Amino acid sequence: MKELFDIVSQRCSKEVTNAYSTSFSLATKMLAPSIRQDIYNIYGFVRFADEIVDTFHDYDKASLFNRFEEDLDRALAEKISLNPILNSFQHTFHQYGIDRSLVNSFMKSMRLDLSKSEYLTEEEYKDYIYGSADVVGLMCLKVFVKGNDEKYNLLKKSAMHLGSAFQKVNFLRDLKEDYEGLSRTYFPNTNLNELDEASKQRIIDDIQGDFKLGYEGILQLPTEAKFGVFMAYRYYRKLLKKLASTPALEIKNSRIRVPNYQKFGLLTRSYVKYQLKLVR
């Protein structure tokens, strides 16, 4: 009765998504049912890997990460895992022909978080973002285009820019938590002890450029995926706007959020725009 086990595994991935991210969960609900579960499956996998390196402070993170990676390798090779999150991910991985190099790059960036605390050059910064965010966007893109390589290659660049934008917004939002709680700094050539408005604006301008290129890809997504991705785009643009209007000193000392009531209001307005064909 592996079918029953697969159903339970998929429920676990959905529950992880709902529990860990209100915004991502809301955007995923806007995807067509035919692809929604597969995005839950991808999110569950990346969320668990990230949790190991970010939050399990009272445990041997390196040992846990090694074990997770070994289980991942077995899951992808054997097409089954007793870890329900990995079992559901391997299903999506094989169904859509996700490139193993994307998974490897993601795990490489997550492993860096076990030991690396500073990214001093643009090359290091871009490599980390590629592995931690761009490849996740590319995995999702494979699902959105239902494994069609021609469409995937057409939208690949835009998906990477959108993934980069989301990650950079997260970095700016989580500045205090990353710097003080995890002793990490991702932005190169930026002194976080003396973050000023000019430095903050340079970061925001860079993110705006990624958003512009990412949006061009959203317009070309299949109908099943377009509104859900547009919703995520709108949420992160709202968060970036809030960060832009927040003094640099306050960003360093607090975590900026978009309240749930604003998220649901954003959903309503996004739906109106979509129905009026303003994003088509």
Phi, psi of 59 (to 5 degrees): -130, 170
pLDDT of residue 258: 60
Please state the rounded mean pLDDT for residues 129-139: 97
pLDDT of residue 168: 93
| pLDDT above 90: residue 180 | no
Whether the pTM exceeds 0.75: the reply is: yes
∠ CA 54-58-62, rounded to 5°: 60
SS3 letters for 55-123? HCCCCCHHHHHHHHHHHHHHHHHHCCCCCHHHHHHHHHHHHCCCCHHHHHHHHHHHHHCCCCCECCCHH
pLDDT classification of 159: cutoffs 50, 70, 90: very high
pLDDT classification of 222: cutoffs 50, 70, 90: very high
pLDDT of residue 178: 74
pLDDT classification of 276: cutoffs 50, 70, 90: very low
pLDDT of residue 18: 94
The string of DSSP letters for 140-200 reads HHHHHTTT-HHHHHHHHHHHHHHHHHHHHHHHHHTHHIIIIIS--B-STT--GGG--HHHH
Q: Which of 251, 110, 120 is CA-nearest to residue 185?
A: 120
Please tell me the least confidently modeled range out of 25-39, 166-180, 200-214: 166-180
Q: Which of 245, 92, 103, 236 is CA-nearest to residue 163?
A: 236
The model's pLDDT over 254-272, given as tens digits with 9 standing for 90+, comes to 666 665 545 545 554 554 5
Chain mean position to CA 136: 6
* Average pLDDT over all residues of the chain: 89
pLDDT of residue 187: 83
Q: Are 228 and 26 in contact (CB under 8 A)?
A: no
Please state the rounded mean pLDDT for residues 218-238: 93
In the numeric block, which tokens belong to residue 79? 């097409």
The domain 2-275 having CATH identifier 3.30.70.330: the answer here is no
pLDDT of residue 264: 46
| pLDDT above 80: residue 158 | yes
Give the Å distances, CA to CA, from 279 to 188, 270, 272.
34, 9, 10
pLDDT of residue 250: 81
